[in-house]
Structure 1
Amino acid sequence: MIRWPGFVAITLALCTALFLAIFLSGGPAPSSAAVGTDPYQASFGICFGRDRYSCVVDGDTIWFEGRKIRIADINTPEISKPGCASEERLGQQAKIRMQALLNQGSFSLKSIDRDQDQYGRDLRIITRDGESLGEILVAEGLAERWQGYRRNWC
């Protein structure tokens, strides 16, 4: 049976050995967040009123640093002029989920073949660690992949 002084000595020796191993190896391996592969980060709210800087309009439209961005790889249900109550409900869920995803950490904005759409919105795919945030909404049933036209969600 190990007594208290022996336990303390063994614990101290193990901790010292672990510290030295980490220190001599150059420290812990950096995580992808520490490396900084995704350059952008902001605190996103829900868009209200005319002053829009970094906020979420709906599941596929955001404002980031004063620029209006249409998320190019998805289409989400409408909330401004929904075709039915279920479309509006699903659209609200998509908006809240996109806000949560954006606020979870840094992200990248990937350009596509066109810089802007017909409404002057920047067209971008939003990714984190190479994964599309839009695809997460698709997998969760809150969006569909963009097919070049809006579908009827009712």
Structure 2
Amino acid sequence: MNTVRWPHFIILTAGLCTALFLVIFFSGGPATTSAATAIDPNRASFGICFGPERVTCVVDGDTIWFEGRKIRIADINTPEISSPGCAAEERLGQQAKMRLQALLNQGGFSLQSIDRDQDQYGRDLRIITRDGRSLGETLVAEGLAERWQGTRRNWC
């Protein structure tokens, strides 16, 4: 009958624990990357854009700055706030802007390219998604945006 003697068992266990510790320590620690981080790698704290210096902020319901790049959300159109046609359009546009800011600040997101990289104003055209779902579609479902039809509509 083979029995493990206690001193050998303690030495073997201590050696295995030490080896495991060294592997974790020298590899930078246990893995902390979740599936959501891998799927939606972008994360930032978005404010509202003010003034000429814009890095990461929300301009309106369908335009943001992210890490110094101006991005037009490609799958939606929201009411104008810079030159609205009426007070109702401006109110709805402000609601869309604030809701977009809240959505972006809720967690990681992805920027998906479309068939064109930029629009005529030099803005990057992207669809913003979280967990594979368009944040623009969330605004559409909440009545704060419409799906992009190729032209802007009158919100008044």
The alignment's TM-score, normalised by the length of structure 1, stands at 0.79
Segments of structure 2 that go 5 or more residues without pairing to the other structure are 1-32
Give how far 1:36 is off: 2.2
CA deviation string 1:34-91 (max 9, x = no partner): x521110000000000110000000000000000000000000000000000000000
Question: C-alpha separation between the residues in 2 aligned to 1:53 and 1:66?
Answer: 4
- The residue type paired with residue 77 of structure 2 is N
Q: 2:121 matched to 1:124?
A: no
- In 2, the alpha carbon distance for the partners of 1:81 and 1:58 equals 12
Deviation string, structure 1 residues 20-46 (Cα, Å, up to 9, x no partner) = xxxxxxxxxx9643x521110000000
Identity across matched positions, percent = 84
The structure 1 residue matched to 2:62, chosen from 60, 63, 71, is: 60
| 1:107-151 residue CA offsets vs partner (Å, 9 max, x unmatched) | 000000000000000000000000000000000000000000000
Larger Rg, first or second structure (1 or 2):
2
Separation in 1, partners of 2:133, 2:147: 14
Amino acid at match of 2:98: I
Aligned to 1:106: 108
8 Å Cα contact 1:53/1:65 also seen in 2? yes
**For residues 70 and 39 of structure 2, what CA distance do their matches in structure 1 show?**
23
Q: What is the RMSD computed on CA atoms of the aligned residues?
A: 1.1
**Within-5 A mapping of 1:1-154:** 32-33=35-36, 36-154=38-156
- Residue 57 of structure 1 aligns with an amino acid whose one-letter code is V
Structure 2 length as normaliser, TM-score?
0.78
The 1-side partners of 2:54 and 2:133 are apart by: 26
Take 2:46 and 2:138, find their aligned partners in 1: how far apart are those partners? 18
Runs of 4+ in 1 over 2 A off after TM superposition: 30-33
